Chains A and B, each alone.
Chain A
Amino acid sequence: MQKDKIRLFLMAFITISVLVTALVYGFMTTEINIGSMIPLFIPLIIVVFMIFFIIRRYRDVKQGMPLEDERSKKVITLAAAKAFYVSLYWLLAISWFESFFAEKLFNGQYLDAGQTVGGGIGGMALLFFVFWFHYNRKAELV
């Protein structure tokens, strides 16, 4: 119980850190284009998901239920595996954006290295949440 609360507190701390970092990035960036917006919006979407997740789990832990059980662990494992697989295509898409679409569609607005890596990692995290939601709500784990 106490251990679960500490884990939730750590999750909240990481979420706040991501939010603060994204906001600082948002205020510091001078360019407004697709490349500079990807590393801003993806973390913000993740933060919204995390806030929803933490509030729900905190309510459950307060009522004496475990933070994780065998089903939730299975959901996380399946979501992580699928997110990894699909994120390979996401990373491929970013590299195509760099080499082709940026020039053709966005008037040569290329991503710098930090934006590419940030977009890649953020996209992986976003995919993880999408698959987590799918397996947690919709899918039959039989």
Chain B
Amino acid sequence: MKNKIKELRAKYNFTQEQLAKKVGVRRETIVFLEKGRYNPSLELAFKVAKALKIKIDDLFEM
């Protein structure tokens, strides 16, 4: 699934580690999310969207 995590993370000057800590996951999970190689649970998707101050349907696209 495509997403805008990488660009929004850059916009807010978060490192992958900082974002991982914010949403309570491991850094590798953020790496795989950004590459679109892991589809998160609904809960994690909401947490990431909240951390990046964006609506969930604007963050992810099919």
Interface, chain A (partner B; CB < 8 A)? 60, 63-66, 68-72, 136, 140-142
Contacts and interface: CB of A to CB of B under 8 A. Distances in A.
Interface residues of B, number: 18
A33 B17 CA distance: 49
A-B pairs with lowest CB-CB distance, top 4: A69-B25, A71-B29, A140-B37, A142-B39
A24 to B, nearest CB: 36
A128 to B, nearest CB: 19
Interface in B24-44: 24-29, 32, 36-41, 44
A63 B25 contact: no
Contact of A65 (B20, B37, B41, B44): B20
Given A69-B24, A142-B1, A63 B17 contact: yes
A70 B40 CA distance: 8
Given A140-B38, A142-B38, A69 B21 contact: no
Given A63-B17, A141-B32, A69 B38 contact: no
Contact of B26 (A65, A140, A141, A142): A65
Contacts of A136: 28
Contacts of B44: 70
A70 B26 CA distance: 9
Given A65-B25, A69-B29, 7 more contacts: A65-B27, A70-B29, A71-B32, A136-B28, A140-B37, A141-B32, A141-B39
Given A71-B26, A71-B28, A142-B1, A65 B38 contact: no
